[in-house]
Amino acid sequence: MGDQSARIDSTGEQETSSTRPEPIRDAFGISNSFLCSEDQDLWSQLHPSNATIGTQKELESLKKKLKEDYNMKDQLWKLLKRFLAGPNQKNIIDEGFLSVHGFIAVTKWFGSFKKMGNTCYCLQQVDNLMRKGGVKRGKSFVSWFAGFITNDKANEYLCKEKCGTFLVRFSESLCSEGGFCVAVKLKEDEVLQYQIKGNYQQACNGQRYNAKLRLISKEAQDIGPCTNIVELVHELRCGVGDIEGEFETICPDLPLNATFQGYN
């Protein structure tokens, strides 16, 4: 008998369990727990069988729905698609697979896809990040957001920069909680990494998104709560609080900078 798990993919070729990507539970460290019924309904529309891994058809269906319902810009989709792919999931970007774990993880970082006026929480927050998550330098936009890089990679970026240089990334240890990490070069041989935690379960309960993010410091009072990551970084750069480190210079040449260029 043939492989009972075989199916036909969007190209018309037979796809077996050996060719489909594995679910990315380990990459995100989360289970299939939707934030709200609207997100679960959206996933069910994209993939009626409720499988954890979809094909390019589901990814394109999500793009089409977000463009039709919320007039999403192509450049915003380019960044959102990278976030949906998650860490070390190059095959999802290149081949167009959509994972329920990536779908849920994005809502924990940026809010639900639940409709809010003429947009949704998630697109509003990604748009805010693209507009305000950095500074203009000449004709270029330099963002402090590095996306999916590891602790070691953050140190590698910062060790060659001057003191006071910083970046923000998704937290490896807090992926399941929608957490972030900010890294700052303190001394020539020292980089500090601060965890940023929030309340993703209640972030979309009001008329405005409010993740209640806090930067956790063992030596000083926490920074926050802030409604989103852009607001928290703004407070850090303004010198709010008494934590160690000067957040003066955005780390250059981060991997997402090209995606941010020209967005307005």
pLDDT digits (tens, 9 = 90+) for 10-32: 333 343 433 433 433 444 555 55
264 vs 260: CA distance, rounded Å: 9
Residues 6+ apart with CB under 8 A from 190: none
Is 247 exposed, middle or buried (CB count within 10 Å of its CB: 0-12, 13-18, 19+)?
A: buried
Task: Average the pLDDT over 79-103 and give the result.
Answer: 75
Is the torsion defined by CA of 37, 43, 46, 51 positive or negative? negative
Torsion of CA 87, 75, 194, 137, to 10 degrees: 130
- The domain made up of 133-260 is a member of CATH 3.30.505.10: yes
Q: What is the pLDDT of residue 32?
A: 58
User: 133-190, pLDDT tens digit by residue?
Assistant: 999 888 889 999 999 999 999 999 999 999 999 999 999 888 888 899 999 999 888 9
β-pair partners for 180: 170, 196
The full set of domain ranges for the chain reads 7-126, 133-260
